[in-house]
Amino acid sequence: MLARHLWSFAGDDDRRDVIQSLIEPFVNYNLDDGWYLISDSVITVDREIDSGDKVTLPLGGGVGKIFKVGKQPMNVRAEAYYNVIHPDAAPNWTIGGTIQFLFPR
């Protein structure tokens, strides 16, 4: 799990105050032949927003595979998250993908 909390306590009075939290629980389940399942939702809370748009709560996950192209190890994954709770201006879905070149020692 990754957690972060930011808050302002000094600075320019013209800027708005900051009280923001981020929580990212992540789960990885390894399958056979380099395949894996993953979920790493990024939950955010902005306590300084006056309306009910303070929280983003995505649920979902994805699938990935580690493999080699020639001698080069690679990691590829695709994920989709539905934002169960989200600000009015935020999207309902977040879809992402990753392509990584791995350089193990």
Nearest residue to 26 (alpha-carbon basis) of 38, 13, 35, 16: 38
Mean pLDDT of the chain: 93
Parent domain of 19: 2-101
Residues contacting residue 36 through CB under 8 Å, at least 6 positions apart: 28, 29, 30, 63, 64, 65, 66, 77
Half-sphere exposure of 75 (CA within 13 A, CB side): 10
Q: How many domains does the chain have?
A: 1
The mean pLDDT of 44-53, rounded to a whole number, is 83
Q: CA–CA separation, 97 vs 63, rounded Å?
A: 10
Question: What is the average pLDDT across 35-60?
Answer: 91
* CA 82 vs CA 14, 16, 93: distances in Å: 35, 29, 5
Residue % of the chain over a pLDDT of 90: 77
